[in-house]
């Protein structure tokens, strides 16, 4: 079975969808504004799942970041995309999925000039069975469960290197998730 190439939703400056484009062609030095999402997954003990992006990723390869990031397909509700990507990237089912920063937007530039330019709603979810985790190695190089408070304070103090979007999100996420 052949999988169709992944497409992303292009956005106007006011956040309205204005079309779509192949994901493989959208990230470059003049990346158009597009729709994405970030998700922070916590276990029942309140630990956060952090992931290290696969070294083959086009943007920020090898960077530690929040649990999962991705792009909704055209016409796909963002919540459905989050659930889909958590299954695909991490092999997990989640509960209590909720938007905590529904209008988050950022722009970041890699050292090589490649740009991320996204309206990126941020979600939090619960994973009741962290043992079931089975990361896709094409998406995730490493993962670990860490104390949320320690992760947040270390990242904000510069003691832990993370992706630029995760750093910007931590600036506005509450101390308790």
| Confidence check: pLDDT of 4 > 90 | no
Q: What is the C-alpha separation between 32 and 45, in angstroms, rounded? A: 39
The average pLDDT across 124-152 equals: 92
Q: How many residues are listed for the chain in this entry?
A: 177
Q: DSSP letter string over the chain? A: -PPPPPEEEEE-TTS-EEEEEEHHHH-STTPPPEE-EEEEEEETTSEEEEEEE-TT-SSSTT-EESSEEE-PPTT--HHHHHHHHIIIII----EEEEEEETT-EEEEE-TTS-EEEEE--EEEEEES-GGG----TTTEEEEEEEEHHHHHHHHHTTSS---HHHHHHHHHS-S--
Strand partners, 64: 52
Task: Grade residue 1 by pLDDT with cuts at 50, 70 and 90.
Answer: low
The average pLDDT across 130-150 equals: 92
So what's the pLDDT on residue 132? Answer: 79
- Class (C level, CATH) for 7-167: alpha beta
Instruction: Domain ranges for the chain, please list them.
Output: 7-167
So what's the pLDDT on residue 58? Answer: 87
So what's the pLDDT on residue 72? Answer: 98
Enumerate the active-site residues. 69, 118
- The pLDDT tens digits for 34-92 are 999 999 999 999 999 999 999 999 899 999 999 999 999 999 999 999 999 999 999 99
Nearest to 82 by CA among 125, 144, 25: 125
- The overall average pLDDT reported for the chain is 94
Task: For residue 102, count other CB atoms closer than 10 A to its CB.
Answer: 11
């Amino acid at each position: 079975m052949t999988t169709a190439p992944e497409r992303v939703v292009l956005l106007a400056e006011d956040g309205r969808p204005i079309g779509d484009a192949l994901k493989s062609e959208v990230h470059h030095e003049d990346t158009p504004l597009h729709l994405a999402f970030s998700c922070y997954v916590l276990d029942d003990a309140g630990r956060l799942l952090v992931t290290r992006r696969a070294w083959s990723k086009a943007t920020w390869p090898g960077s530690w970041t929040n649990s999962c990031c991705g792009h909704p397909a055209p016409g796909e509700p963002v919540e459905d995309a989050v659930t889909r990507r958590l299954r695909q990237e991490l092999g997990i089912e989640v509960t209590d999925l909720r938007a905590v920063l529904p209008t988050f937007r950022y722009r970041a530039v890699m050292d090589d000039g490649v740009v991320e330019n996204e309206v990126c709603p941020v979600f939090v979810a619960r994973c009741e069975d962290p043992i079931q985790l089975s990361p896709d190695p094409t998406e995730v190089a490493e993962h670990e469960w860490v104390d949320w408070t320690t992760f947040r304070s270390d990242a904000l103090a510069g003691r832990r290197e993370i992706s630029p979007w995760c750093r910007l999100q931590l600036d506005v996420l509450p101390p308790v998730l």
